[in-house]
Amino acid sequence: MKRKLPFVPLLIFAVIFLLINGYALSALAPVIAAPLLPWLWVFPVLLLIVFSFSLSRLSVDGQKNLFKISAHVLLVYFVSLLVFVLTEVLTDIYRVIAGGINYLSKGNFIYPERPLNGIYLGILLSSTIIIVFIYGILKGKYAYRIIKHSLYFDDLPAAFDGFKLVQISDVHAGSLNNPKAVQKGIDLINRQEADLFVFTGDLVNNKAEEIKPYINHFSQIKAPFGQFSVLGNHDYGDYVKWESDAVKRENLQQLKNYHAEIGFKLLLDEHVTLEKNGQKIVLAGIENWGLGFGERGDLEKALKGTATDDFKILLSHDPSHWEAQVKNHPSKIHLSLAGHTHGMQFGIEALGLKWSPVQFRYKHWAGVKEENGRFLNVNRGFGFIGFSGRIGIWPEITVIELKKT
């Protein structure tokens, strides 16, 4: 059965895409032989046709790879095209200003020719973008980074001073395609020799079966105080069509079984007590609660039976939950661990800069934040989804050491 095309959005995109391509080719005219210019329309037009065809046949077996390849080629070409066009727009603005100055000083408007340096700069920048995207697709999505934080608390039980936990999030097993690279990530996790391991949701993209090829990988993760997990928005199977609600429920139950098979203790609106030398901390976990992504979790249920002055760590997939319910909760939750954002798998974190388009959706989208004496860490994700790559926002293994002040 063929998929019904979203005709109007696709048409709007195609028109915009071809207009931008036309502007780019007109800017390239001074450095490309005139007979070649019409042929430079062939690639973008064919690319649109292949993408549209593959989109219409997404539900046909064997056609998903064609869609994935064409979508990624279209994305890379379009972004590089935008970078080139932006460079040439700035050049055109300069040309208009130069012509205006000439008119004011000499009384006639002469539109300067397009400077070749501007064209070559645009080609260089767009070529760089293509190279960066290719790296992100081939290597970046498995370029695991260890990110360490030491967090200080005046009410941390003394026995847990120096307690170390490792967090990963957003495995998205249905997107993984390189078991050897995944194994390198697992080995990195185990080399941290953490006291506690936690996973903060989205083990799969949609279906429980996606994790089966990687059960032996993730079951290698061990920590003395245990391995704990929660569910993320993708784990419930909300983004695919099921034969029935019963089949959807069976899928979720199977995913829970896989958590257990891996060795993850799944926390479903509940908590456990971790004890060391006669002292304790509370580890709680809730079902997914996220603005716009399903508000299933019940924080009060998860904390039932805990005391206000207990030291608490909360696993909650979506960082919007921390903003909405956690940071001002009357029962102090000292540390919350989330994921979900992936840092949009694209951005800049270098030379003091920290930027990603995801910041327009989430107030805090990566790393540690402190407010009211409470901490939130948002993990950038272990896997990937949608765009099969990462650029500037690398897959993360978080190591957090609890320290008593």
Same domain? For 80 and 191 the reply is no
Q: 243 with 364, same domain?
A: yes
**249 lies in some domain:** yes
Q: State the CB neighbour count (10 A cutoff) for residue 186.
A: 20
Per-residue HEC secondary structure of 31-72 comes to HCCHHHHHHHHHHHHHHHHHHHHHHHCCCCCCCHHHHHHHHH
Q: Which two tokens stand for residue 308?
A: 């206000």
The pLDDT value given to residue 56: 83
The CATH number assigned to the domain holding 175 equals 3.60.21.10
- Residue 317: burial class (beta carbons within 10 Å; 0-12, 13-18, 19+): buried
Say what the pTM is: 0.90
Give per-residue pLDDT as tens, 46-82: 999 999 998 887 765 556 788 999 999 999 999 999 9
Q: Residue 240 corresponds to which amino acid?
A: V
Shared domain check, 273 and 344: yes
Cβ atoms of 122 and 27 closer than 8 Å: yes
User: In terms of domains, do 153 and 76 share one?
Assistant: no
- The answer to whether residue 1 is domain-embedded is no
- pLDDT tens, residue by residue, 329-382: 999 999 999 999 999 999 999 988 999 999 999 989 999 999 989 999 999 999
Residues 118 and 203 both lie in one domain: no
Q: Residue 4: its pLDDT value, please?
A: 61
3-class SS of residue 192: coil
Whether residue 2 is contained in a domain is answered as: no
Out of 138, 170, 199, pick the residue that ends a domain. Answer: 138
Q: Which of 83, 111, 138 is the last residue of a domain?
A: 138
Residue 204, in any domain of the structure: yes
**pLDDT (tens digit per residue) in 163-189:** 999 999 999 999 999 999 999 999 999
Give dist(CA 170, CA 287) in Å, integer: 14
Angstrom distance (rounded) from CA 374 to CA 1: 51
Average pLDDT value for the chain:
94
Residues 321 and 295 in one domain: yes
Q: Which of 75, 109, 138 is the last residue of a domain?
A: 138
What is the average per-residue pLDDT within 197-213?
98
User: Residue 95 is part of which domain span?
Assistant: 7-138
Q: Provide the pLDDT for residue 108.
A: 76
Same domain, 240 and 305: yes
Judge if 44 and 112 occupy the same domain.
yes
Instruction: Please check whether residues 400 and 267 belong to one and the same domain.
Output: yes
Q: In what order do the strands lie in the sheet with 145-153?
A: 145-153, 396-404, 164-168, 196-199, 227-229, 265-266
Task: Please check whether residues 166 and 133 belong to one and the same domain.
Answer: no
pLDDT at residue 63, as a whole number: 60
Number of domains in the chain: 2
What's the token pair of residue 63?
Answer: 């056609």
Residue 369 maps to a domain? yes
Residue 313 lies in a domain: yes
Q: What percent of the chain has pLDDT over 70?
A: 98
Same domain for 155 and 124? no
Residue 254 within a domain:
yes
> DSSP label at 232?
-
For 248-287, write each residue's pLDDT tens digit: 999 999 999 999 999 999 999 999 999 999 999 999 999 9
Same domain, 127 and 159: no
Tell me the torsion sign for CA atoms 133, 138, 141, 142. negative
Residue 15 has what pLDDT?
96
Position 184 in a domain: yes
The per-residue pLDDT for range 77-117, each reduced to its tens digit, is: 999 999 999 999 999 998 899 888 888 887 777 778 889 99
For the residues of 316-337, what is the DSSP string, one character each?
-S-THHIIIIITT-SS---EEE
- Note the pLDDT tens digit of each residue in 11-57: 999 999 999 999 999 999 999 988 888 899 999 999 999 999 988 87
